[in-house]
Amino acid sequence: MTGLATGFGLFFRLGYIISVVCIISLISVYLNARKLEVTIDRRNSLLSVGEQIDKRISIRNLSVIPKTLLMATDVTTIPKYSSSYAFGLTTKGYRSWRSTDEALHRGLFQMGPVEISTTDLLGIYRAKTLHGSPEKIMVYPKIHDLKNFQTGNSNLTNEGMARRKSHILSPHASSVREYAYGDSLSRIHWKSTARSGRLMSKEFDVGTSNEVMILNDLDDSVHVGELDQSSIELSISLVASLCKKYSNSNTPIGFMSHGKERYHLPPSMGQSHFDRTMEILATAQSGNDKKLHQILNEEKNIWITYTSVIIITPSDKIEWVSALSELSQFNINITVILIDPVSFSGEGDQTTVISALGSIGISPFLLKKGDSMEAALSRSFSRRDNSKLVGLAPR
């Protein structure tokens, strides 16, 4: 336009040069992005937090034209994860590299496809192509060794199971006895009645002493921190570690949480049960479904079925301790693990909770950010020589 307006030849020449450069740049980008063979070898699709995401990417140039200014990026939904590699390829050239990155977050993620992007020397045009198909990768919570952790009942073994009588109907029928006045028809054991010629009633108990149930508080309002540096991740890692401990000792273990939804897995044993537990824990999310004291009250029929219950929470609300005191009347072995929100730069004073738990005969464990989980859970709070309640007050 300037050349036409002024008639000055220099502007015409500049216009021609710019047009030629743009055309050459466009052609070079087009040729750069074509005839690439990409192979992706993902070494593991199932791992735990702290383990390495291992993959190998191989790229071959199928063209006689050299490739320059190429960038390979592994597209993924994993937070804070980036894997990019800049390279060039000669005529019929080949490049392969292995990438190992630490898995920092639990969850079910998508990895792939691999994006190959290129640009011209002047950065005028950019092109990208996608290679491979998306793949799923499951990252389990981190598991810690809790060999020194013991609940109030240290005799949780798979042998010598003790059962307790129950005056209410439960899933466990342990024996039969003669009919007593007031027994309902639902308690009558008809096969024994037919054999003996007199009415016989079933006796129930509340379960076996080697079944452990974990209640993890996933209420959004009591948790602090972000991503892997959060009380939520610490609590879920703790649940996974406890499940691993009891699974290794052939003790039936189950858990319950109310977060984004209700997560419940009854106690059982075996590798398949443990794998199912880890899958649920990997994808469990916090929410505002129910408060801890509501869960303790509304799910009471679950707690009284088992003789050992482990409660994990960072909550400093006294209401849940009041609900817990009612459960103690059922002769349940209750263990409480408190997570200190102050250590995650949150607010809260758990001195009141610790005192209230002590008044009902429960000495909780206390876990802070950065603590060795094995050391923190080797002794309850009241047994630590250097522990002082004033040390929990918010600063």
pLDDT of residue 211: 85
> What pLDDT, on the 0 to 100 scale, is given for residue 350?
82
Report which of 74, 172, 68, 77 is spatially closest to residue 120, judged by C-alpha positions: 68
Determine the average pLDDT of the residues in 140-168.
63
End-to-end alpha carbon distance in the chain: 69
Q: In whole angstroms, how far apart are CA 33 and each of 83, 127, 246, 367?
A: 19, 7, 54, 53
Comparison of pLDDT for 179 and 340, the residue scoring more: 340
Q: Name the residue among 364, 372, 373 with its Cα closest to residue 152.
A: 364
Mean pLDDT of the chain: 84
* Choice among 142-146, 197-201, 252-256, 285-289 with the minimum mean pLDDT: 197-201
C-alpha closest to that of 219 among 129, 163, 295:
295
CA atoms within 13 A on the CB side of 76: 22
- Count the Cβ atoms, other than its own, within 10 Å of residue 185: 7
Could you tell me which residue, 283 or 16, shows the higher pLDDT?
Answer: 283
- Pinpoint the alpha helices (H) of 134-174: none
DSSP string, 318-371: THHHHHHHHHGGGT-EEEEEEE-GGGGT----THHHHHHHHHTT---EEE-TT-
Q: pLDDT band at 345, cuts 50/70/90?
A: confident
SS3 18: helix
Average pLDDT over residues 369-383: 83
Band the pLDDT of 392: cuts 50, 70, 90. Answer: very low
Does residue 110 have a pLDDT over 90? Answer: yes
198 CA to centre of own chain: 55
Q: What is the mean pLDDT of residues 24-47?
A: 92
Q: Which of 58, 69, 48 is nearest to 99 (CA)?
A: 58
**For residue 317, what are the contacts with CB-CB under 8 A and spacing of at least 6?**
222, 291, 292, 293, 353
On the question of pLDDT at 163 being above 80, the answer is no
pLDDT at residue 63 above 50? yes
Confidence of residue 365 (pLDDT cuts 50, 70, 90): very high
Query: Considering only CA atoms, which of 229, 233, 271, 276 is closest in space to residue 255?
Result: 276
Rounded to an integer, the average pLDDT of 67-74 is: 93
Percent of the chain's residues with pLDDT above 90: 52
R_g of the chain computed on alpha carbons = 31
- pLDDT over threshold 90, residue 273: yes
151 pLDDT above the threshold of 60: yes
107 sits in which H/E element: strand 107-119
Say what the pTM is: 0.77
Q: How far apart are CA 33 and CA 36, in angstroms?
A: 7
Range 230-249 average pLDDT = 95
Confidence (pLDDT) at 205:
55
**Mean pLDDT calculated for residue range 18-34:** 89
How high is the pLDDT of residue 328?
Answer: 75
Instruction: Delineate the domains of the chain, giving CATH numbers in brackets.
Output: 2-140 (2.60.40.10), 171-206 (no CATH), 209-392 (3.40.50.410)
